[in-house]
Amino acid sequence: MPRNGDPTSYYHLNSNVPIKAPEGPLSDQVLWTIATNLTSPWYELAYALNLPDIELARIDKLYPTHPEHDRHFGALRDWRYRSLKLIPPHEAAMELSNSMKKLGRQDLCNFVLYKYQEALQCS
């Protein structure tokens, strides 16, 4: 799991009150699993997720000497934060799956789809 922050809460959404973290295919656990299984450079992931250059610079500044998977996780969290402001969670999950496919990681694409279907069955 991530080294900092509370994995059960997601902050920084213009509120002083913690908001429950996303569950299912966009949860911190799923993003961490993806981050630790990626072997491509973190900036390739950021480009596949269509993160703006300013976000890439911020991630690079925040994690200068950290392992690559920390940068992957940072990019995934930034993407999730931006995406959930613009599109519904199910569309964001499909976007994440397509990004994994762009990176040539069909296994991670299938993993996200599996988590999405699992979340649908539980609801």
- Alpha-helical (H) ranges within 1-123 are 28-37, 42-48, 53-62, 68-86, 89-102, 106-122
What's the rounded Cα separation, in Å, for the pair 88 and 110?
A: 20
Task: Let me know if residue 63 belongs to a domain.
Answer: yes
Going by the DSSP 8-state scheme, the letter that residue 9 receives in this structure is: E
CA angle 1, 98, 21 (to 5 degrees): 35
- The pLDDT, as a whole number, for residue 99 is 95
Task: Let me know if residue 4 belongs to a domain.
Answer: no
- Domain of residue 48: give its range: 23-122
Measure CA 46 to chain center: 10
Task: Let me know if residue 15 belongs to a domain.
Answer: no
For residue 27, the domain's CATH number is 1.10.533.10
Task: Let me know if residue 1 belongs to a domain.
Answer: no
Task: Let me know if residue 6 belongs to a domain.
Answer: no
Task: Let me know if residue 92 belongs to a domain.
Answer: yes
The total of structural domains in the chain comes to 1
CA angle 94, 96, 97 (to 5 degrees): 65
Q: What is the pTM of this model?
A: 0.78
One digit per residue, pLDDT tens: the chain, 123 residues?
444 444 444 444 444 554 455 678 899 999 999 999 999 888 899 999 999 998 888 888 887 778 888 889 989 999 999 898 888 888 999 999 999 999 999 999 999 999 998 888 876
Task: Let me know if residue 8 belongs to a domain.
Answer: no
Task: Let me know if residue 110 belongs to a domain.
Answer: yes
3-class SS at 47?
Answer: helix
